[in-house]
Amino acid sequence: MNQKSLPISLREKQRYLAFQIISKKEFDLGSVVNSIWWTILQLYGEYGTSKFFLWVPSNLYDQQNKKGIMRCGHMHVEDVRAALASIRQINDEPVIIKTLGVTGTIRSAKRKFLGFVDLEDFSK
Amino acid sequence: MMRKYLDLHIYSDNSIGSSSIKEVVDFAEKLNLSTIALLDYKDKKQLAELKKEIQGIKTQVEILVGAELVAGSVSDLKVKIKQVRDVVDILAVYGGNLKINRAAVEDPRVDILIHPEFKRKDSGMDDVMARLAAENFVAIELNFREFLHSSRKSRSFVLRKMKQNAMLAEKYNAPVIVASGAESVWDMRAGRELSSLAHLCGLPIVACIDSVSKTPERVMTHVKKVNSNKFVMPGVEIK
């Protein structure tokens, strides 16, 4: 039996951060997610990270364009941005992670930053 | 209107950096920076060559040439400031020595005091120096490279010292800027990412964004004012 979801008023408010990786090579989702988690844990520790409500959805990472979306709590956007900025390497390749913007829903993040325009695309 | 982001501390391969000016400018375009300052000045002959090279690059990014003064003593610093002030766009003083830090914030001809806490156990600044920096409009720099290239214990020390400097600067209204201090294009960051360092140092969000946009712009305006013939000292100008 699945747990009943909380009423909207009691849920943690979330933000979706669209990011782009500037690098010479492409990276698979696993490397990117590992690198993000490792950096955030190193910078804020396990206790600090627990407040961030982090999630990197696997279906919202565009490997070719090196763009992705990640979720965090609405009070911790700047903390996560700082952690992304402190990533220097992924798989020993130098990288710069640039945040493209912040949205309140996955839908608008897809539309604004990943170039989803058709209604069919939103079902992906 | 789009907000402009400025990075006033970058090195190219003309000084200690490893990337060419063309590469730096390409990355500045990718990172949506409107203005960059290359602290590559060595002497007047090299400055002319630098300016010639910059003129040959077609770009939307405004490129300034600055000097980073590394001085052994206060008198040495004064001599160097006098020699360089009129020929460069940005004059930054390499901090770390307490006497040099103090002399830099006392002098209105200085634009930026770079990492005052560098290789120190304390933060390199006290309340008097923060007040002087505000009076003379000398920007206190939070150096992103120091944060980026440190880890664990050393990073925690760096952040603690930067936090104290940011707190003092905020209390006395001294200008604070965040700059990348990039020696390679891979050390460069976009404006909002640079500003997140100010957030880690405890500044409010408006001050964080200003530290990479409005404050560096005010520094540039101040430079033009100081370099004009009408400027005598802070508060005194010839009409």
Task: Give domain status of residue B192, yes or no.
Answer: yes
pTM of the model: 0.92
Distance from CA of A58 to the nearest CA of B (A): 24
Q: Specify the higher pLDDT residue, A118 or B116.
A: B116
| Count of domains for chain B | 1
pLDDT over 70 (residue A120): no
Give the SS3 label for residue A67. Answer: strand
Of B152, B184, B189, the CB nearest to A85: B189
Using CA atoms, how far residue A49 sits from A46, B148, B159, in Å, is 5, 19, 18
Q: What is the mean pLDDT of each run of 10 residues along chain B (239 residues)?
A: 91 94 96 95 90 92 94 94 91 94 94 94 94 96 96 94 96 97 96 96 96 94 81 79
> To which residue do tokens 């565009």 refer?
A62
| Domain with B171 in it | 6-237
Structure confidence at residue A116 (pLDDT): 77
Which residues in chain B have their CB less than 8 angstroms from residue A101's CB?
none
Task: Give domain status of residue B1, yes or no.
Answer: no
Of A22, A78, A97, the CB nearest to B199: A78
**Strand pairing partners for B179?**
B143
Average pLDDT over chain A reads 92
CATH of the domain at B17: 3.20.20.140
Confidence of residue A119 (pLDDT cuts 50, 70, 90): low
- Among chain B, residues having any CB pair with chain A shorter than 8 Å are 27, 30-31, 144, 147-148, 151-152, 184, 186, 188-190, 192-194, 196-197, 199-200, 205, 208
Which tens digit of pLDDT belongs to each residue from A40-89?
Answer: 999 999 999 999 999 999 999 999 999 999 999 999 999 999 999 999 99
Determine contact, residues A63/A28, Cβ cutoff 8 Å.
Answer: yes
**Strand pairing partners for A97?**
A21
Structure confidence at residue A104 (pLDDT): 96
Structure confidence at residue B223 (pLDDT): 85
Other C-beta atoms lying within 10 Å of the C-beta of residue A47: 7
Which residues in chain A have their CB less than 8 angstroms from residue B152's CB?
42
Domains of chain A in sequence order:
13-123 (3.30.70.3250)
Which residues in chain B have their CB less than 8 angstroms from residue A81's CB?
192-193, 196, 199
Structure confidence at residue B98 (pLDDT): 94
Of B189, B192, B208, the CB nearest to A96: B189
Task: Give domain status of residue B90, yes or no.
Answer: yes
Distance from CA of A92 to the nearest CA of B (A): 13
The predicted model gives A7-27 an average pLDDT of 95
